[in-house]
Amino acid sequence: MAAVWNLPVIFLVESNGYGLSTPSKEQFRCKNIADKAPGYGMEAHIIDGNNIVEVYKTVSRIAEDIRQHPRPVMIECITFRMRGHEEASGTKYVPKELFNEWEKKDPIKNYEQHLKKNNLLSAERMDVIRAEIKSEIDKGVESVFAEPDVIPNTEYELKDVYAPSPQFHTTIPSESREMRFVDAISDALNEAMKEHAELILMGQDIAEYGGVFKVTEGFVERYGKDRVRNTPLCESAIIGAALGLSIKKHKAMVEMQFADFVSSGFNPIVNNLAKIHYRWGQQADVVIRMPTGAGVGAGPFHSQSNEAWFTHVPGLKVFYPAFPSDAKGLLLSAISDPNPVMFFEHKALYRSIQGAVPTGNYRIEPGKANRVITGNDVSIITYGLGVHWALETLKHQPEISADLIDLRTLIPLDTNLIFESVKKTGKAIILHEDTYTGGFGAELVALIQQECFAWLDAPVIRSASLDTPVPFTSSLEWNFLPRDRFAIQLKQLIAY
């Protein structure tokens, strides 16, 4: 990505010959890490990493040059590790002769000799510097030990996971027009681009092509290629760039071409985006759009429902709208939120569902579920395409009086409405497209059993997809999905 975008980045490699204990010759085939740079069209330099003067001059010269002529440059500093990767691993795997060889190249000792030789440092001045450094370290250690012991505060710890979200006082415009789900998503992005001049859109094929689902069609003409950027096929780099933009006070929207592809960017999502506010108070103002779901004959690599991967990770928010108006309002909320949001959009809804969508800019508050239908016999709790399956089932079974709850957001979760509904009806069925084992429905069942047990007249039921990959063939795919099983399970629950 740095090479394609000509980013002024120095990739500085501490080439010390080992991973933890595995030598470099068992890590890669080329002689040096720098040998990889030409494959990316990158300039590379190999220098003596133990020569302080050479490192300083090289980095300074290249840094100044790429400020004037932006491009990425790799600098491989050849060095050595005189201790273990960390304290526990030791150094038994390193040949003794390497220690003898590299001890002579100690950068601090050699730099001291260089300064003395050039009459830039006297023995007396060296003693003063060492004493100053020792004093600074000792004072630091003393101040830390003087600190009181940390006393856990659960409320504080939980609040520290997310950056403060904006207040939701936006009035929903009275005027509306009919939109398909996909058009509502596109309209939301357009409104957000007008509202937030610092917002950058990134993803594979989203610029001139408009994305594989045409959500960003025409955006390049409106906002230019600086703000609507095609990216290389490297999800982890896209997400890393998005986080970097957030650190520099920008906002970023990343489109996963398909939700399935997010696995290639999993690490920066769960270990960087999700944790960065808790670790050092840094906002991660990133929305990752996730075209998700089956029912369109796209097979096992383009049809997964993987929202549960992310509901388990503190620090992420997970939105999953079912209707065009919710899709627009929630996406605008997600982009306004300084926290990372995984925004799921069911592909089968893009062009099959339409409805009245308010014009202009408005927001829907996360963590507020929607009671789509009010009833007394059973609580149906679902989200995404499941809402429409439930509506279809109830249409064909008018004798069932159901409370149909559309969660809209999974994190934050509207437990108040869930518990209120279940306590009223005494029966609950959870419907989701994700596979049965480990799906978000299991969490909902556990919460209901714990909080509403005294009001239950029947076991809480989960209706979910089979524990298999998503099949290609239509008959197998619909057998995999819970739509038809849900209708049967609902009848059985009513009759319990």
- SS3 state of residue 248: coil
Using one digit for the tens of pLDDT, what is the confidence trace for 420-441? Answer: 999 999 999 999 999 999 999 9
124 shares its domain with 92:
no
CA atoms of 334 and 336, how far apart (whole Å)? 5
At position 254, the amino acid (one-letter code) is: V
Residues 6+ apart with CB under 8 A from 270: 310, 313, 316
Looking at residues 330-339, what average pLDDT do you find?
A: 97
342 shares its domain with 283:
yes
Q: What is the pLDDT of residue 166?
A: 80
239 shares its domain with 341:
yes
Taken in order 144, 147, 152, 155, the sign of the CA dihedral is negative
CA atoms of 286 and 315, how far apart (whole Å)? 12
Identify whether 169 is part of a domain: no
Largest CA distance in the chain: 96
Give the residue numbers spanning the domain of 124: 114-146
Q: Mean pLDDT over all residues of the chain?
A: 96
At position 464, the amino acid (one-letter code) is: A
Say how many CA atoms lie within 13 Å of 63 toward its Cβ. 7
Cα angle 163, 166, 170 (rounded to 5 degrees) comes to: 160
Identify whether 170 is part of a domain: no
Identify whether 99 is part of a domain: yes
Q: What is the pLDDT of residue 167?
A: 79
- In this model, does residue 445 exceed pLDDT 70? yes
- CA nearest to 378, candidates 399, 409, 407: 399
285 shares its domain with 343:
yes
The two tokens of residue 165 are 């979200």
396 shares its domain with 422:
yes
- β-strands 370-373, 402-406: how paired? antiparallel
CA atoms of 29 and 15, how far apart (whole Å)? 15
215 shares its domain with 285:
yes
CA atoms of 312 and 314, how far apart (whole Å)? 7
How many other β-carbons are positioned within 10 Å of the β-carbon of residue 307? Answer: 25
- Decide if 287 contacts 252 (C-beta within 8 A): yes
The gap from C-alpha 340 to its chain's centroid, in whole angstroms, comes to 6
Identify whether 4 is part of a domain: no
Identify whether 407 is part of a domain: yes
Rg of the chain, C-alpha, whole Å: 28
Identify whether 133 is part of a domain: yes
CATH number for the domain spanning 412: value is 3.40.50.920
Looking at residues 446-460, what average pLDDT do you find?
A: 98
Identify whether 336 is part of a domain: yes
The two tokens of residue 127 are 């003693």
83 shares its domain with 123:
no
348 shares its domain with 384:
no
36 shares its domain with 136:
no
Identify whether 53 is part of a domain: yes
At position 487, the amino acid (one-letter code) is: A
138 shares its domain with 209:
no
CA atoms of 35 and 25, how far apart (whole Å)? 13
Domain count of the fold of the chain? 4
Taken in order 439, 443, 446, 452, the sign of the CA dihedral is negative
- In this model, does residue 455 exceed pLDDT 80? yes
Using one digit for the tens of pLDDT, what is the confidence trace for 122-180? Answer: 999 999 999 999 999 999 999 999 999 999 999 999 999 999 988 776 678 889 999 99
- Decide if 191 contacts 363 (C-beta within 8 A): no
393 shares its domain with 418:
yes
Q: Is there a catalytic annotation at residue 85?
A: no
How many other β-carbons are positioned within 10 Å of the β-carbon of residue 197? Answer: 10
Which residue, 323, 358, 393, sits at the end of a domain? 358
Percent of the chain clearing pLDDT 90 (strictly above): 95
Catalytic option among 45, 85, 250, 302: 302
- CA nearest to 361, candidates 166, 165, 173: 173
Q: H-type helices in 69-206, by residue range?
A: 96-103, 107-117, 123-146, 154-159, 181-195
Q: What is the pLDDT of residue 472?
A: 95
Which residue, 125, 146, 167, sits at the end of a domain? 146
CA atoms of 331 and 338, how far apart (whole Å)? 13
- Decide if 438 contacts 444 (C-beta within 8 A): no
- In this model, does residue 478 exceed pLDDT 90? yes
94 shares its domain with 64:
yes
Percent of the chain clearing pLDDT 70 (strictly above): 100
Looking at residues 291-296, what average pLDDT do you find?
A: 96
CA atoms of 27 and 496, how far apart (whole Å)? 61
Q: What is the pLDDT of residue 169?
A: 67
Say how many CA atoms lie within 13 Å of 297 toward its Cβ. 3
